[in-house]
Amino acid sequence: MLVLLAFIIIFHITSAALLFVSIIDNAWWVGEEFFADVWRVCLNNTNCTEINEEYNEFTTLQAIQATMILSTILCCIAFLIFLLQLFRLKQGDRFVLTSIIQLLSCVCVMIAASIYTDRRKDLHSKNQHFYPVEMVQEGSYGYSFILAWVAFAFTFISGLMYLILRKRK
């Protein structure tokens, strides 16, 4: 049982770490001479510009920012509730509250990554960009964007594990 508990704790901490890296690191959209995320655009690793109201899709990027932050917060809250329930639940009870919060975190990551994917595809078909055209020409999805989708899978699996898990001796 201790091995299972250690695995669940490590899995949850990994999920939270993936969320933190995906939201903090500046690599959602990358190209040869730039990299961008939902917070800023950087040229040649030196010239960074914060994203503000001047950008084409500022409100869309704000929605992505909000859902990613909410997802990270919910993942951390779920871990704290898991630790509290670990010592407070009666034997045989399930970690339902932890599971619900972790699955909400999963939904938030999915919403953020889906919005980013959809708007990127939609704007690309209209020959527009999230960012100013002179800064961001051709590029591809960066590793932070991919980590967001991996974090989605991890939080989903973690939420299901909590739903199935029962407190045993």
Nearest residue to 35 via CA among 164, 155, 158, 145: 145
Please indicate, yes or no, if residue 61 is contained in any of the structural domains.
yes
In a domain, 42, yes or no: no
Supply the pLDDT for residue 134.
53
Return the pLDDT at 46: 74
Residue 21, SS3?
helix
Q: Is residue 33 part of a domain?
A: no
| Mean pLDDT taken over the chain | 83
DSSP 166: B
Copy the structure tokens of residue 111.
Answer: 């919403």
> Is residue 29 classed as helix, strand or coil in its secondary structure?
strand
Per-residue pLDDT band for 24 (boundaries 50, 70, 90) equals confident
Listed residue (145, 23, 36, 38) closest to 73, CA to CA:
23
Q: Is residue 116 assigned to a domain?
A: yes
pLDDT reported for residue 156 = 95
How far apart CA 94 and CA 76 sit, in angstroms, is: 19
pLDDT for res 128: 56
Would residue 114 count as lying in a domain? yes
What number of other Cβ atoms are within 10 A of residue 27's Cβ?
18
DSSP label of 67: H
Q: Which residue has the higher pLDDT, 35 or 13?
A: 13
CB 113 within 8 A of CB 68: no
Asked if residue 40 is part of any domain, the answer here is no
The residue-averaged pLDDT of 42-64 equals 76
Helix 58-88, helix 2-24: angle, nearest 10 = 160
Which of 5-14, 53-62, 90-99 has the least mean pLDDT? Answer: 53-62
Which of the given ranges, 48-52, 87-91, 151-155, has the highest pLDDT on average? Answer: 151-155
pLDDT at 115 over 80: yes
Residue 105 has pLDDT above 90, yes or no: yes
The answer to whether residue 35 is domain-embedded is no
Question: Which residues, 6 or more positions from 44, have their beta carbon under 8 angstroms from its beta carbon?
Answer: 33, 34
Number of domains in the chain: 1
pLDDT surpassing 80 at residue 63: yes
pLDDT of residue 122: 60
pLDDT at residue 61 is higher than 80 = yes
Where in the sequence is the domain holding 155, given as residue range(s)?
2-27+56-133+146-164
Give the separation between CA 88 and CA 54, rounded to whole angstroms: 50
Q: What's the mean pLDDT in 154-163?
A: 91
Contact by Cβ (8 Å): 166, 94: yes
Specify if 160 maps to a domain.
Answer: yes
**Is 132 a residue whose pLDDT tops 60?**
no
